[in-house]
Amino acid sequence: MVDWGRVASLRTEIGVADFAEVLEMFLVEADEVIRRLSSRKVGISYEAELHALKGAALNLGLTDLAEFCSEGERVARQGGVVDVAGVIACYSASRRALLAGMDARFAA
């Protein structure tokens, strides 16, 4: 679910303080994407929303979420029905695993 090698690599590359900022930005932006997807408002581009979430997930090593978003992006592009509930569940599980793992692996 979480590629901890990627997390550790990114944390080393940009430093602990900047990583904390990147993580916080990811959580805020991803939560907003999830809110937009949940609203199912007319005019939402599921393909664009899932593409953005996929890229951010890949950056932070959230491989399962990135794969789920990639599949949803493909479905949306083809005009199918996106499994929004599945995306939300995968994001929630990935978010929990990331935060719990951060505390366990990198607590000072």
Residue 83 tokens, joined: 């499994």
Of 94, 91, 101, 92, give the one whose Cα is nearest residue 11.
Answer: 101
Using a 10 angstrom Cβ sphere, with 0-12 exposed, 13-18 middle and 19 or more buried, the burial of residue 46 is: buried
Residue type, position 28, single letter: V
pLDDT digits (tens, 9 = 90+) for 53-74: 999 999 999 999 999 999 999 9
pTM of the model: 0.90
Question: Looking at the predicted structure, is the pLDDT value of residue 107 above 80?
Answer: no
